[in-house]
Copies of this chain bind each other. A is one copy, B any other.
Amino acid sequence: MAPTEFDLIDQFFSGMGASDHVLVGVGDDAAIIEMIDGWVLHVSTDTLTEGVHFLPDCSASDIAYRAVMTAASDLAAMGAAPRAMVLALSLPEPDTAWLEAFCTGLRAASADARLPLVGGDTTRGPLVITVTVMGATPADQCLLRSGAAPGERLCMSGTLGDAAAGLSLLRGELVATDPTDTAFLTARFLRPTARIPLGESLRGVATAAIDISDGLIADSTHLAKKSGVALQIDHRLLPRSTAFSAVVEPSQQLAYLLTGGDDYELLFTLPQSVQLPEGCTEIGRVMAGSGVSCDGMSAVGGYDHFGH
CB within 8 Å of B: which residues of A? 2-6, 8, 23-24, 27-35, 37-53, 73-75, 77-78, 80, 83-84, 86-90, 94, 118-126, 128, 130, 132-135, 139, 142, 144-146, 209-211, 226, 304-307
Contacts and interface: CB of A to CB of B under 8 A. Distances in A.
Most buried by B among A40, A47, A305: A47
A31 B51 CA distance: 28
Contacts of A307: 2, 4-5
Given A31-B42, A142-B24, A132 B132 contact: yes
A36 to B, nearest CB: 9
B126 A211 contact: no
10 contacts: A29-B209, A30-B133, A33-B42, A34-B40, A35-B40, A37-B38, A53-B123, A122-B305, A130-B130, A130-B132
A122 B120 CA distance: 20
Given A4-B307, A37-B37, A130-B130, 19 more contacts: A2-B306, A29-B44, A29-B77, A31-B43, A31-B44, A32-B42, A33-B41, A43-B86, A43-B118, A45-B87, A45-B119, A45-B121, A45-B130, A47-B88, A47-B123, A49-B128, A124-B306, A126-B128, A132-B132
B27 A226 contact: yes
8 smallest A-B Cβ distances: which pairs?
A49-B125, A126-B126, A47-B88, A29-B77, A30-B44, A130-B130, A88-B130, A132-B132
Contacts of A305: 5, 122-124
A259 to B, nearest CB: 15
Counting every copy of the chain, the complex holds 2
B304 A30 contact: no
Contacts of A41: 32-35, 41, 83, 134
Contacts of A210: 29
A31 B145 CA distance: 12
Nearest to A73: B29
Nearest to A134: B43
A238 B42 CA distance: 42
Contacts of A30: 42-44, 74-75, 77-78, 80, 133, 135
A7 to B, nearest CB: 9
A83 B30 CA distance: 14
Contacts of A123: 47-49, 52-53, 305
Contact of A94 (B31, B43, B118, B306): B306
A223 to B, nearest CB: 10
Contacts of A40: 23, 32-35
A156 B80 CA distance: 40
A126 B35 contact: no
Contacts of A6: 304
